[in-house]
Amino acid sequence: MVKINLKSAARTVIGRKVKKLRREGKIPAVLYGGGIKNQPLLVNYPDFQKAFKEAGRSAILELDIDGKKKANVLIQDVQFDPLTGNFSHADFFQVRMDQKIETEVPLEFTGESEAVAGLGGVLNKSLDAIPVSCLPADLPAKMEVDISVLKTFDDLIKIKDLKIPEGVKTPIDPETVVANVAPPRSEEELAQLEEKVEEDVTKVEGVAEKVPVEGETEEVAEAAKGKNEEAKAEGK
């Protein structure tokens, strides 16, 4: 396992005062888990951005705290500024290297499917990640799914077809489909789909026309409906 290193510093500033730290290019964070008391931290924005790109939420980081202590952690959660989309907070979960952990590993789809490129099919991805259980040292950052084996619309990629590393287990049924290619819709199917949409729109308009205003009698509603139909017929 290749460790990704990230430097951090102990943080004493909490609450609303952390806004100033963000303006200075820092991200407030907290370290917890592994039987330790929650510890507020600070990480440099560029360093965390790089580490998150490499590790995501499924690879072990070696967190250096003030150059005095190191902890093996997972990025448990991140928060983003709703206006800028920048990182605004991070949670680090400390793991013990001798105890199994349960997390999710993202799937990375690679290659080119002949059923898509040559037959015009549509790639269906049933899963984007799979839950796993393993020792932290065995945890893969991702699992590749080679879609080049999907040559026809009958081909399937199942959990049992994935190259799951030794020491890594998943609770998902081996027969669960991960990906397949659906044939393109025929012109007849597309036409039927358009007709169905038009029918649904007509039904909605019809319901809207029939809904009486609160306090309005059925007779008044029917009269209003008649005027609406007359106006449509006259092109108004």
The string of pLDDT tens digits covering residues 23-46 is 999 999 999 987 888 999 999 999
- CB-based burial of residue 78 (10 Å sphere; 0-12 exposed, 13-18 middle, 19+ buried)? middle
What DSSP element (H or E) covers 26? Answer: strand 26-33
Give 3-state DSSP helix, strand, coil % of the chain, rounded to 5.
30, 35, 35
Q: Can you tell me the distance from the alpha carbon of 140 to that of 86, in angstroms, rounded to the nearest whole number?
A: 26
What are the pLDDT digits (tens) for 140-192?
A: 889 999 999 999 999 999 999 999 999 999 999 999 999 999 998 766 766 67
What are the pLDDT digits (tens) for 143-156?
A: 999 999 999 999 99
Q: Is the pTM of this model over 0.85?
A: no
Q: Can you tell me the distance from the alpha carbon of 47 to that of 39, in angstroms, rounded to the nearest whole number?
A: 19
Q: Can you tell me the distance from the alpha carbon of 234 to that of 187, in angstroms, rounded to the nearest whole number?
A: 36
Percent of the chain predicted with pLDDT > 90: 63
What are the pLDDT digits (tens) for 67-84?
A: 999 999 999 999 999 999
Q: Can you tell me the distance from the alpha carbon of 160 to that of 9, in angstroms, rounded to the nearest whole number?
A: 43
Q: Can you tell me the distance from the alpha carbon of 210 to that of 159, in angstroms, rounded to the nearest whole number?
A: 52
Q: Can you tell me the distance from the alpha carbon of 109 to that of 233, in angstroms, rounded to the nearest whole number?
A: 55
Rounded average pLDDT over 217-227? 49
Phi and psi angles of residue 123, each rounded to the nearest 5 degrees, phi first: -75, 125
Contact 178, 125 (CB under 8 A): yes
Q: Which domains are assigned to the chain? A: 4-95 (2.40.240.10), 102-182 (2.170.120.20), 188-234 (no CATH)
Q: Which of 115, 132, 120 is nearest to 179 (CA)?
A: 115
Residue 225 has pLDDT above 70, yes or no: no
What are the pLDDT digits (tens) for 114-127?
A: 999 999 999 999 99
Q: Tell me if residue 141 falls in helix, strand or coil.
A: coil
For residue 145, the 8-state DSSP code is E
Residues 6+ apart with CB under 8 A from 24: none
